Amino acid sequence: MDTGLKNRVAIVAASSQGIGRAVAEALAAEGCCIAMCARQAQALQHAAEQIAKHHRAKVFALPVDVTDPQAVHEFVEQTVSQFGGVDVCVTNAGGPPAKGFLATSLEDWRSAVDANFLSTVYFAREVIPHMQSKRWGRIITITSITTKQPVPDLVLSNAVRAAVVGLVRSLANEFGKAGILVNNVGPGFTATQRLRELAKRRAQAFGQSEKQVVAAWAEATALQRIAEPREVADTVVWLASERASYITGQTILVDGGAYKGL
Ligand code: NAD
């Protein structure tokens, strides 16, 4: 399948590990020039070097906190000056902590809004003018299965991700005429550092082993297993590609059938 992504410029936010890194890797494998960012310079540099080496890809990496609008501005500007534009922007950030409502402080709410909603706004504001000038663009937000089905003890994710879906739909409607397609990908249980941390906390809270917690999550899916980050990344690649040219404003779950609705 020709994805038409060769030589496209792709920004992948929060990409030193986990799903973001897998997305950067998968887009590099399709021949994209990759701009990566994350907070930890060393881990980011290591990931960027590995991706450049394995895929002979052009990779630009800059330490950026995605909750800082000025840092996002500079990252996008530097990407454009390195690669001549920006075609694909995948927004991502670390997930919010697992808490029930009464255990959640106002500071937790503000942090979740900053990391999981406003960071998407910052990237969209920066990349859309560049995409408009080329009359081609793809914005893909990484959120969660919580956009369709609330997860117990993830009240921050359950509430804040819904705003991203509203934004995605609005941007899709406003910028479709400029050739910009905007979609949202919602992972289910995916084998990353984030999932290991959630399993550890849940195991402590319920007096179970981490293995039992993960096994119960796997059983909650139709496929009876946890996803590999690459499986989420492949869906992002497809949405970024020419093969998904009539899809916009959608939320696509990559959850192995964990969502129980129709
Ligand atoms: P992860 O913790 O493995 O990786 C998160 C990445 O984000 C890292 O590279 C980290 O350095 C970077 N990051 C975190 N905060 C940042 C910030 N402020 N600025 C820049 N970079 C930042 O997590 P993951 O599992 O890959 O999750 C990615 C997203 O997908 C999260 O929003 C998570 O909640 C969501 N998600 C994950 C799962 C899962 O099972 N793993 C399920 C549903 C949703």
| 196 CA → ligand 1 middle, Å | 12
**Two tokens, residue 11:** 């920004």
Q: Judge if 207 and 151 occupy the same domain.
A: no
- Which stretch of DSSP H or E encloses residue 251? strand 251-254
Q: Which atom of ligand 1 is nearest to the CA of 229?
A: 26
Write the DSSP string, the chain: ---S-TT-EEEESS-SSHHHHHHHHHHHHTT-EEEEEES-HHHHHHHHHHHHHHHT--EEEEE--TT-HHHHHHHHHHHHHHHS---EEEE--PPPPPB-STT--HHHHHHHHIIIIIHHHHHHHHHHHHHHHHT-EEEEEE--GGGTS--TTBHHHHHHHHHHHHHHHHHHHHHGGGTEEEEEEEE-SB-SHHHHHHHHHHHHHHT--HHHHHHHHHHTSTTSSPBPHHHHHHHHHHHHSGGGTT--S-EEEESTT-----
Q: Is the CB of 41 under 6 A from ligand 1?
A: no
Give the pLDDT mean for 169-182: 98
Mean pLDDT, residues 149-157: 95
Q: Does residue 145 have a pLDDT over 90?
A: yes
What is the DSSP-derived secondary structure letter of residue 114?
Answer: I
The finding on whether 65 has its CB within 6 A of some atom of ligand 1 is: yes
End-to-end CA distance of the chain: 30
CA nearest to 188, candidates 249, 260, 118, 239: 260
**C-beta of 251 in contact with ligand 1 (< 6 A):** no
Query: Looking at the domain assignment, is residue 92 inside a domain?
Result: yes
pLDDT value, residue 246: 98
The answer to whether residue 26 scores a pLDDT higher than 90 is yes
Kindly indicate the confidence band of residue 189, based on its pLDDT and cuts at 50, 70 and 90: very high
**Contact (Cβ atoms closer than 8 angstroms) between residue 142 and residue 92:** yes
CB of 67 closer than 6 A to ligand 1?
Answer: yes
Distance CA 44, CA 142 (A): 19
Query: Residue 86 has what pLDDT?
Result: 98
Q: Answer yes or no: do 87 and 217 share one domain.
A: no
Q: Tell me how far CA of residue 147 lies from CA of 38, 89, 143, 253, 255, in angstroms.
A: 24, 20, 7, 9, 12
Residues 56 and 176 in one domain: yes
pLDDT digits (tens, 9 = 90+) for 205-261: 899 999 999 999 999 999 999 999 999 999 999 999 999 999 999 999 999 999 999
| CA contacts within 13 A on the Cβ side of 234 | 7
Question: Residues 235, 217: one domain?
Answer: no
Average the pLDDT over 31-41 and give the result: 98
Domain assignment present for residue 21? The answer is: yes
Number of domains in the chain: 2
Whether residues 134 and 211 fall in one domain? no
Average pLDDT over residues 166-171: 98
Q: What CATH number is attached to the domain comprising 43?
A: 3.40.50.720
Q: Could you tell me if the CB of 256 is within 6 A of ligand 1? A: no
pLDDT band at 203 (very low <50, low <70, confident <90, very high): very high
In a domain, residue 261? The reply is: no
Question: Quick one: tokens of 202?
Answer: 């849940």
Q: Are residues 50 and 158 in the same domain?
A: yes
Q: Is the pLDDT of residue 1 over 90?
A: no
pLDDT in tens, 68-118: 999 999 999 999 999 999 999 999 999 999 999 999 999 999 999 999 999
- Domain around 63: 9-190+227-254
Residue 103 CB coordination number (10 Å): 11
Instruction: Judge whether residue 28 has pLDDT over 90.
Output: yes
Task: Give the residue-averaged pLDDT of 26-52.
Answer: 98
Asked if the structure places residue 4 within a domain, the reply is: no
CA–centroid distance, 39 to ligand 1, in Å, is: 12
